[in-house]
């Protein structure tokens, strides 16, 4: 009787092993079939590779109107940013791209200002918002389109507007311009970008 029980137990174990092997094989085979039918083709991979990155950026001013352009020489000094007013009368100022607020305060030339640090595909740039009437009591990370202040006439300014500047450095690094092509200027070793072109080309000129 005991031998019969042992034989039955051995048969049960062998049957279980066979079932598990068949099940495992069918699962593996099923995965292989699924992978072979869902894997992207070479043509599909090429389409994905050609797609460009879409950045969510925002104008710093709604319905913006330029009152002073990015220029190598404006009244004897380079104008490293673009001056905007709003055609609709709105004076709100917005973060043009996601980033970290790294500086804000008051300075005799810039007036009330905010500086945001951005990372664009590994490239660090800074956007600066000057002559603000006031800025929001916010710190840390901000999304594109977040209101950060209200345009004003503080500092060295002659009317209510926003001076908006983009570069690879924070403001005030000298006036010695060694390169200028309308889209970029290099002053004292730092690069500044035509902010209007950056907005309208979605970072293309700073790649």
Domain boundaries, the chain: 2-50, 64-206
For 64-206, give the CATH class. mainly beta
Q: What is the pLDDT of residue 48?
A: 59
Q: What is the pLDDT of residue 199?
A: 96
Residue environment code for 120-140, b if the CB has 16+ CB neighbours within 10 A, otherwise e = beeeebbbbbbbbeebbeeee
Phi-psi region of 25 (alpha: psi -120 to 50; beta: other; left: phi over 0): alpha
What span, in angstroms and rounded, lies between the C-alpha atoms of 88 and 178? 38
Tokens at residue 205, please?
Answer: 């000129």
Residue 3 has pLDDT above 70, yes or no: no
Q: What is the pLDDT of residue 167?
A: 97
Q: How confident is the model at residue 54 (pLDDT cuts 50, 70, 90)?
A: confident
Q: What is the pLDDT of residue 1?
A: 53
Report residue 203: phi and psi, to 5°: 75, 0
pTM: 0.75
pLDDT digits (tens, 9 = 90+) for 107-127: 999 999 999 999 999 999 999
What residues contact 141, with CB distance under 8 A and at least 6 apart? Answer: 98, 99, 100
Residue 24 has pLDDT above 70, yes or no: no
Residue 177 has pLDDT above 80, yes or no: yes
Q: What is the pLDDT of residue 53?
A: 66
Check residues 50 and 22 and name the one with the higher pLDDT: 50
**C-alpha pair distances (Å), 69 with each of 10, 45, 154, 180, 195:** 89, 42, 19, 14, 9
């Amino acid at each position: 009787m005991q031998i019969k029980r042992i034989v039955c137990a051995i048969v049960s174990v062998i049957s279980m092993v066979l079932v598990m092997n068949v099940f495992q094989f069918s699962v593996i085979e099923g995965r292989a079939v699924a992978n072979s039918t869902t894997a992207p083709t070479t043509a599909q991979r090429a389409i994905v590779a050609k797609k460009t990155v879409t950045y969510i950026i925002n104008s710093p001013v709604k319905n913006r109107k330029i009152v002073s352009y990015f220029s190598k020489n404006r009244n004897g000094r380079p104008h490293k940013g673009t001056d905007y007013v709003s055609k609709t009368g709105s004076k709100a100022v917005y973060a043009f791209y996601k980033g970290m607020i790294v500086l804000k305060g008051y300075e005799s030339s810039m007036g009330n200002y905010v500086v945001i640090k951005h990372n664009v595909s590994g490239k660090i740039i800074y956007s600066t918002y000057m002559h603000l009437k006031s800025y929001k009591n916010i710190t840390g990370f901000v999304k594109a389109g977040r209101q950060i202040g209200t345009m004003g006439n503080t500092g060295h300014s002659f009317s209510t507007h926003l001076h908006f500047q983009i570069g690879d450095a924070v403001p005030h690094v000298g006036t010695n311009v060694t390169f200028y092509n309308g889209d970029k200027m290099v002053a004292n070793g730092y690069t500044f970008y035509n902010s209007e072109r950056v907005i309208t080309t979605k970072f293309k000129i700073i790649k």
